[in-house]
Structure 1
Amino acid sequence: MPPITDNTAMHRFEMTQDGATAFITYLWHGTVLVLLHTEVPAIFRGKGIGRALVCGVLERLVEAQNVVDIRCAFIRHILQENPALATRLTRVRSS
């Protein structure tokens, strides 16, 4: 899988392959990182790129001990499938 980069200027985590970029948009609300939306280009769908991006970003956030607020339904879905990862995150209540 391609590496995940933090594009702070655009407030998104990105994974680029073959000229297309999958990303998770975020914003900081004080000390809480709010994960807003995951976007996966059509050419990546069904190939596990979105899942790899989400899991990679969440692992990074666990390591950094960031407090997160997950607003993205896709990320919440991935966490439901990965309860071990979910329990390692420090989260505020998701809306």
Structure 2
Amino acid sequence: MTVTSLMPGPIDTEFFDGAEMADTRVGSGRKDDPRTVAEQGFAAMLPGDQTVTAGSLLNKVQTAAGKIVPDKLKAVQHRRMAEPGSGS
């Protein structure tokens, strides 16, 4: 038995509205299609892949960069992306 970890970026769902994050950079920015992300996750699960970075090329690049960028810098960037009013 395996577990596949799906690592999507922002997905075009009602999440950001429900979380009252529609006015943030991440909430107002480009998002991946939920069907595409689900299909990529399912395709990775079938052969037993442990992880899949789903969605856009940008998400894949950000995930790769996250492995070498210091946590302190990632925290600052995430705060900026989720800061209320940052999407204006």
TM-score (structure 2 length as normaliser): 0.29
Answer 1 or 2: higher relative contact order, Cα 8 Å, separation at least 6.
2
- Pick the structure with greater CA Rg: 2
Higher helix share: 2
